[in-house]
Amino acid sequence: GAYIQAIENANEALNAYIVTTPEKALQMAEASDARLAAGNAGALEGIPLGIKDLFGTEGVHTQAASHILDGFKPHYESTVTANLWADGAVMLGKLNMDEFAMGSSNESSYYGPVKNPWRAKGSNADLVPGGSSGGSAAAVAARLCAGATATDTGGSIRQPAAFTGTVGIKPTYGRCSRWGIVAFASSLDQAGPIARDVRDAAILLKSMASVDAKDTTSVNIAVPDYETAIGKPLAGLKIGIPKEYRVDGMPEEIEKLWQQGIAWLKDAGASIVDISLPHTTYALPAYYIVAPAEASSNLARYDGVRYGLRVPGRDIVDMYEKTRATGFGDEVKRRIMIGTYVLSAGYYDAYYLQAQKVRTLIKKDFEDVFHAGVDAILTPATPSAAFGIADQDMAADPVKMYLNDIFTVTVNMAGLPGIAVPAGLDARGLPLGLQLIGRPFDEETLFQTAYVIE
Ligand code: GLN
């Protein structure tokens, strides 16, 4: 009840929810109360959550914040959300995001930008919450839900978490089932939680994660009780500091934050080692080939026949064209053009194949470091704090927007787990985050180390 009221009061200003489901929330909460009274409560009994609009929710609008999915209500439930409901969680509604999860500022949503609940000291200017899971991050930061689901293809959980002072973890590829989640780039997409603190993130991920026969890339490795990793001393852990992440023009306050994080981990008993991940500089360009290539293929299904919007035409081809021209926004069209270009016969070898080779090298960089005994890697989460809505530089040049992902995309390319944890404020009083990257399926070490930093 309190959350429903909070959403009513604050959502108009923040635009974090696209759809609210108060009747459903009350129904689910009543069922929760009954289970609590009967003494058979689940791990998340009665916990109210916001759901990123990318997750298919049965009978509830699922539009990926795109015009082309106008009015679409699936007849299925994503595995991740089904897991949460099975543990007793309650759905408050669907959260805004960049259209089809493409973006780093939440400005590509058909439903308009989300506003970051944070403001710079002495300023009233609206800031972005980051993206693509901007609605999830803003809703958690503004207390419009107890926690939220999110997805991360190149940084979409970790960057908005860093911009809003929340915790976000992208688990290892295969940890959560992708079934029932609208696909962006299938070999990179992973679901994970955005939460108020490390403990909440651990509890939520435990519920979300599962092997699933409906997603053959989900992995059958037991999901540990992540909460038990919290509070464990760091003695014996080796934390790597990659020199390639000290990028040109990195603001001094980011460097300082990083040094502070190193000091905290050292104080807690970890040993710190300098490491090298030599192919890091190629990660961003390779990502912006692989992700659009997969996106262009995944988006072929939106043709006006099966889901959402249909704009009538002279014949079926004209209908397809009109529907896609009207239904997709600019950023989505840009990705489709890049994707079809890099996959086309004449350019496949030069771009797509090269990018896949680079991806293998990036993965090997990490394998070498972990093989040498490093347990986790500490980096900044983003190159800056939250920027303004309608930032001129970013609007004029999409590549500037893509640079937001510089510290996060390597993790998706290598399929590794990564967590963003709030670590301090910049000179304007805005939150900054650090990132910890772990071995495959070792999310526990991330919760253990992030807890020392938060
Ligand atoms: N900002 C990146 C992109 O636009 C990542 C988005 C994501 O992780 N979904 O592709």
Give dist(CA 180, CA 182) in Å, integer.
6
Say how many Å lie between the CA of residue 319 and the centre of ligand 1. Answer: 29
- Residue range 13-17: mean pLDDT, rounded: 97
Whether the model clears a pTM of 0.90, i.e. scores above it, the answer is yes
Single out the catalytic residue among 52, 94, 115, 170: 52
Q: What are phi and psi of 76, to 5 degrees?
A: -135, 165
72 is written with which tokens?
């679409």
H or E element at residue 256: helix 252-267
**Assembly ipTM:** 0.97
Single out the catalytic residue among 78, 104, 132, 296: 132
- Rounded to 5°, angle at Cα 232 from 231 and 235: 135
Say how many Å lie between the CA of residue 31 and the centre of ligand 1. Answer: 37
pLDDT confidence bin for 248, thresholds 50/70/90: confident
Give the tens place of pLDDT for each residue, 322-364.
999 999 999 999 999 999 999 999 999 999 999 999 999 999 9
CB 406, CB 383: distance < 8 Å: yes
Say how many Å lie between the CA of residue 189 and the centre of ligand 1. Answer: 9
- Residue range 290-300: mean pLDDT, rounded: 98
H or E element at residue 167: strand 167-170
pLDDT confidence bin for 225, thresholds 50/70/90: very high
Closest atom, ligand 1, to C-alpha of 104: 1
Q: What integer pLDDT is reported at residue 285 of this predicted model?
A: 96
Q: What integer pLDDT is reported at residue 69 of this predicted model?
A: 98
Ligand 1 pocket: which of 156, 288, 298, 403 to mutate (most atoms <8 Å of CB)? 156
Q: What integer pLDDT is reported at residue 162 of this predicted model?
A: 98
Backbone region of residue 49 per phi and psi (left: phi > 0; alpha: psi in -120 to 50; beta: other values) = beta
Cβ neighbours of residue 223 under 8 Å, at least 6 residues apart? 175, 206, 209, 210
Name the residue with the closest Cα to ligand 1, atom 10.
Answer: 102
Is 52 labeled as catalytic in the residue annotation? yes
Q: For residue 47, which of 65, 33, 67 has the smallest C-alpha distance?
A: 33
Give domain 2-223's CATH superfamily: Amidase signature (AS) domain (3.90.1300.10)
Report the percent of the chain where pLDDT is more than 90. Answer: 95
Backbone region of residue 103 per phi and psi (left: phi > 0; alpha: psi in -120 to 50; beta: other values) = left
Give dist(CA 312, CA 105) in Å, integer.
33
Is 218 labeled as catalytic in the residue annotation? no
User: Would you say how long the chain is, in residues?
Assistant: 454
E strands, 171-225, are 190-195
Q: What are phi and psi of 406, to 5 degrees?
A: -60, -35
**To the nearest whole number, what is the mean pLDDT of the chain?**
97
Predicted confidence (pLDDT) at residue 250 exceeds the cutoff of 90: no
CB 130, CB 386: distance < 8 Å: yes
Give dist(CA 400, CA 410) in Å, integer.
18
Report the percent of the chain where pLDDT is more than 70. Answer: 100
Say how many Å lie between the CA of residue 39 and the centre of ligand 1. Answer: 42
Amino acid at 285: P
Ligand 1 pocket by Cβ (under 6 Å): 101-104, 132, 152-156, 184, 291, 405
pLDDT confidence bin for 219, thresholds 50/70/90: very high
CB 45, CB 88: distance < 8 Å: yes
205 is written with which tokens?
């991920």
Give the tens place of pLDDT for each residue, 418-448.
999 999 999 999 999 999 999 999 999 999 9
CB 49, CB 146: distance < 8 Å: yes
CB 262, CB 241: distance < 8 Å: yes
pLDDT confidence bin for 395, thresholds 50/70/90: confident
226-255 per-residue burial string, b: 16 or more CB within 10 A, e: under 16: bbebbebebeebbbbbbebbeeeebeebbe
Q: What integer pLDDT is reported at residue 1 of this predicted model?
A: 79
E strands, 2-124, are 17-20, 48-52, 90-95
Say how many Å lie between the CA of residue 101 and the centre of ligand 1. Answer: 6
Ligand 1 pocket: which of 66, 105, 132, 178 to mutate (most atoms <8 Å of CB)? 132
156 is written with which tokens?
């979409």
